[in-house]
Amino acid sequence: MAKHEPEFDVDTGATYGTHKSYAIGFILSVVLTLISFYLVGSGAFSKLHLYIAVGVLALAQLFVQLVFFLHLSTHSKATWNLLSFLFALIMVLIFVLGTLWIMYHLYENMGMNAMSM
Amino acid sequence: MSATPMVNDHHTHHFDGSKNVFGFWIYIMTDCILFATLFAVYAVLHSHTYGGPHGKELFSLPFVLTETMILLTSSFSYGLAMLARNTGNKNIVIGWLWLTFFLGLSFISMEIYEFHAMYVEGNTWATSAFLSSFFTLVSTHGLHVSMGLIWMLTLIYQINKHGITAVTKTKLTCLGLFWHFLDIVWIFVFSVVYLMGAI
């Protein structure tokens, strides 16, 4: 077993991580987190720009962890993992964006405008 | 499934963990949707403070940064346990699992401390819609981490007793998916709740 390690994990069908890949994932995550906190702490930009920056950094870190920790990739033998993930992602986007869209317009029409506070 | 022969252990003969892991992956995807709904609720209600405090007055960024770093390190140390499992040395695996466990426990302790401090100051889940959704979202994540910790203890016990077999390997993989997933959820908790709340 130890001599010829399979390229793919027996259970997940995903590629095995290596010390290097875990270390890269960890360092990238730490750097992205620190940038996020630094930007908000310093208040260097306008509010809108900070919202966008924090959002983009979070998505970047999501991508880093999916690739380096969960080993989700198109090379994976387990394409069902990726497919079910993409399906869940679509569901998540419909729920979150749909909810925000509906509620924002509700607030607008009721003259509450609370969402933009 | 595997090109390499299974370990000759009659207890685990013909054990194929791939379906277990895929099934667990599907569970995690449904959990994603659970968290998505809670995030949506928080996004809608976060400005409804009912005269109570806003996030900006409640959250301490250095505190949350420490929590984040602890959870991130625990994700990394779990990855090292996963790598050590390939060497077949159970003591190294158990060592990394204990480190992961104590990092996770520190994270939960900090979260309980934060909640308790807010509660004592009168900022409870009954204060406003904002705090209701805040406590629901963040403590659902905390509850998941706590469950992961209990699971990790049982796994440490099993690996100690049975060694690294096909069965315990599969369980390690499942808990690994769960643990990394919780770290990913936390990225959005600290970004959406704490950082965007502090802007």
* CATH code for position B62: 1.20.120.80
Residues 74-113 of A with CB under 8 A from B: 78, 80-81, 84-85, 87-89, 91-92, 95-96, 99-100, 103
Per the structure, the complete domain to which residue B97 belongs is given by 21-46+54-198
Percentage of residues of chain A with pLDDT beyond 70 = 77
Q: Residue B63: inside a domain, yes or no?
A: yes
pLDDT at B101: 98
Question: For the range B83-89, what are the long-range contacts, defined as Cβ-Cβ under 8 Å and sequence gap of 24 or more?
Answer: B83/A17, B83/A18, B83/A19, B83/A22, B85/B164, B85/B169, B85/B172, B86/A1, B86/A2, B86/A5, B86/A16, B87/A2, B88/A1, B88/A2, B88/B164
**DSSP string for residues in chain B:** --SSPPP--GGGTT--THHHHHHHHHHHHHHHHHHHHHHHHHHHHTT--TTS--HHHH--HHHHHHHHHHHHHHHHHHHHHHHHHTTT-HHHHHHHHHHHHHHHHHHHHHHHHHHHHHHHTT--TTT-HHHHHHHHHHHHHHHHHHHHHHHHHHHHHHHHHH-S-HHHHHHHHHHHHHHHHHHHHHHHIIIIIIIHHH-
Q: Residue B68: inside a domain, yes or no?
A: yes
| Mutation for testing the B interface, residue in A1, A4, A7, A10 having most B CBs under 10 Å | A10
**Tokens for A3?**
């001599």
- Amino acid occupying residue B93: V
Q: Residue B152: inside a domain, yes or no?
A: yes
Percentage of residues of chain B with pLDDT beyond 70 = 93
pTM of the model: 0.89
**Are B75 and B115 contacting, i.e. CB atoms less than 8 angstroms apart?**
no
**Are B21 and A12 contacting, i.e. CB atoms less than 8 angstroms apart?**
yes
Inter-chain residue contact A10 with B20, CB threshold 8 Å: no
Q: Residue B15: inside a domain, yes or no?
A: no
Examine the pLDDT at A52 and tell me if it is beyond 70.
yes
Examine the pLDDT at B10 and tell me if it is beyond 60.
no
- Amino acid occupying residue B150: I
Inter-chain residue contact A33 with B68, CB threshold 8 Å: yes
| Mutation for testing the B interface, residue in A19, A30, A37 having most B CBs under 10 Å | A37
Instruction: With cut-offs at 50, 70 and 90, classify the pLDDT of residue B11.
Output: low
Span of A14-18, B109-113, B141-145 with lowest mean pLDDT? A14-18
d(C-alpha A30, C-alpha A116), whole Å: 31
What 3-state class would DSSP assign to A14? coil
Q: Residue B160: inside a domain, yes or no?
A: yes
Average pLDDT over residues B2-27: 69
Examine the pLDDT at B8 and tell me if it is beyond 50.
no
**Are A61 and A53 contacting, i.e. CB atoms less than 8 angstroms apart?**
no
Residue B175 phi, psi dihedral angles, 5° rounding: -65, -35
**Chain A residues with CB-CB distance to B192 below 8 A:** 58
Residue A15 phi, psi dihedral angles, 5° rounding: -70, 145
Average pLDDT over residues B25-42: 96
Between A12, A96, A103, which is nearest B36 by CB?
A: A96
pLDDT at B156: 97
Q: Residue B10: inside a domain, yes or no?
A: no
Q: Residue B137: inside a domain, yes or no?
A: yes
Helices B18-45 and B166-188: crossing angle, nearest 10°?
20
Q: Residue B134: inside a domain, yes or no?
A: yes
d(C-alpha B98, C-alpha A31), whole Å: 26
Residue of A nearest to B40 (CA): A96
**Are B38 and B136 contacting, i.e. CB atoms less than 8 angstroms apart?**
yes
**Chain A residues with CB-CB distance to B29 below 8 A:** 84-85, 87-88
Number of independent structural domains in chain B: 1
pLDDT at A44: 79
